[in-house]
Amino acid sequence: MVASWKEAVSFGTMTEGPRLNADLMFEDVFKEMPEHLQKQAGLDARGAQVMASMNMIQALNSAMDIMLKKDPSVVLMGEDVGYFGGVFRATEGLQRKYGEQRVIDTPIAEGGIVAAAIGMSVNGLRPVAEIQFADYIYPGFDQIASELARLRYRSAGEFHAPVTIRTPCGGGIRGGQTHSQKSGRDFYPCLRPQGGDAVESLRRQGAVESPPSRTMIR
């Protein structure tokens, strides 16, 4: 056993002589995929998944675009998310693409936005609600903590509320005391606050995922 271990270490650290070649190993094991199938599958020439390079806003926009196209029950709602495309342009172009019935501009009423999202969700829709800044999520806190988070339990499983709440937080834009708070900690007892990694979750399942409800705070 000791000799075998020493031989393995010696082979792995040698600077001369035969060495493993990753490219040759790949070619020996995997048959090359035809080019047209590579493009269709989003793969590069070696068969590796090609990941698009985009910033957070572009990724969010892409994720919501995919879900709107994939599932007709998904709707977006929030202040300025439609015609204006969102204060950070996270929803830019989506109302033009999917119409005013699926990308909905709401009044400045965070409690109403959350309450409407809950009502929509128990009636078969899957709303993705934006609170324009996390600082302003508190008017909707009671709806989130007392209604949204408890609905499945309260109804003994008869109802659930597949709601995604998306809100930006933090001091990155230097927006002063009413546009810079981080409120995620206040939701841990009742929901699942999620950061940037939730974008891929939203892209893959997010709005089509049933309870528990989620709050995305980026």
Residue 184 lies in a domain: yes
pLDDT above 50 (res 218): no
Task: Enter the pTM of the model.
Answer: 0.66
CB atoms within 10 A of CB 168: 24
Judge whether 148 and 213 are in contact, CB under 8 Å. Answer: yes
Residue 51 lies in a domain: no
Residue 200 lies in a domain: yes
In this structure, the answer to whether residues 140 and 189 fall within a common structural domain is yes
pLDDT above 90 (res 16): no
Residue 46 lies in a domain: no
* 179-188 pLDDT per residue, tens: 777 777 777 6
Task: Give residue 73's domain range.
Answer: 56-217
**Mean pLDDT value of segment 46-73:** 81
Residue 49 lies in a domain: no
Minimal CA–CA distance to 71: which of 164, 7, 6, 147?
164
**Mean pLDDT value of segment 123-134:** 93
Q: Please tell me which residue in 102, 179, 214, 218 is annotated as part of the active site.
A: 179
Cα four-point dihedral sign 202, 207, 209, 210: positive
Minimal CA–CA distance to 132: which of 98, 84, 95?
84
Question: What per-residue confidence (pLDDT) applies to 29?
Answer: 43
Minimal CA–CA distance to 65: which of 210, 216, 203, 214?
203
Residue 193: φ, ψ to 5°: -65, 140
DSSP secondary structure, 76-109, as one string: EEETTSSSS--TTSTTTTHHHHH-TTTEEE--S-
In this structure, the answer to whether residues 131 and 105 fall within a common structural domain is yes
In this structure, the answer to whether residues 113 and 12 fall within a common structural domain is no
- Has 36 been annotated as catalytic? no
Question: What per-residue confidence (pLDDT) applies to 97?
Answer: 96
Number of structural domains (the chain) is 2
Residue 150: φ, ψ to 5°: -105, -5
* 91-127 pLDDT per residue, tens: 999 999 999 999 999 999 999 999 999 999 999 999 9
Mean pLDDT of the chain: 76
Residue type, 56: M
* 42-55 pLDDT per residue, tens: 555 555 555 667 78
Environment class of 73 (CB within 10 Å of its CB; exposed 0-12, middle 13-18, buried 19+)? middle
Residue 18 lies in a domain: yes
Percent residues over pLDDT 70 in the chain: 61
**For tokens 């501009």, what's the residue?**
105
Judge whether 122 and 151 are in contact, CB under 8 Å. Answer: yes
